Amino acid sequence: MRLFIAINFDDEIKDQLNDITQNLKTNSEYGNFTRRENLHLTLVFIGESQNVSAIKKAMDSVCAQSFEISISALGKFKRTGGDIYWLGVKKHQILSDIYKQLHNCLLREGFSLENREYKPHLTLGREVKLKDSFDREYFQKNIKDINVPVSKISLMKSERLDGKLTYTEIYSKTLYNK
């Protein structure tokens, strides 16, 4: 199974993020854009694994309270053949702590993970080529901060169903209340 741990969004947040994605799509010549139902914030990408019990153990070991993240700021990773466009997440200590706890526990459980700084972002589109007329400043000015309450983390399975990339929650860990 292809797995990752994520923060999922409710329908209202997905609608706001999808509006931004669709606006970016309208301003693009081409690209592979994230479907509304797949919008999420990845905490840790695990990849192919059948060891779900070890991942659950890592998630259950997380000690963190519920909190709120703020999504804003359009960014991109430059790629040949089209860039990856994303929205950034403002730094938040609890989010960073959750990432560190998960990353360290999964390493102890024997998982092979990327070893780089966690830069939380929400992917809007891959292999995107924007129109020459795209006004990044104007686009950015119209993105209002989206505040997202976070009360749980989710283990997600990624698979193709009927030709569509589909993410399914297979486990979740509730964060404690303040």
Residue 44's domain is classified under what CATH number?
Answer: 3.90.1140.10
DSSP state for residue 177 in the 8-state scheme = P
List pLDDT tens digits, range 17-35.
999 999 999 999 999 999 9
Residue scoring higher pLDDT (142 or 61): 61
List pLDDT tens digits, range 131-165.
999 999 999 998 989 999 999 999 999 999 999 99
Which backbone phi and psi does 123 adopt, to 5 degrees? Answer: -75, 125
- Containing domain of residue 42, as a range? 2-174
Number of domains in the chain: 1
Q: CB neighbours (10 Å) of residue 116?
A: 6
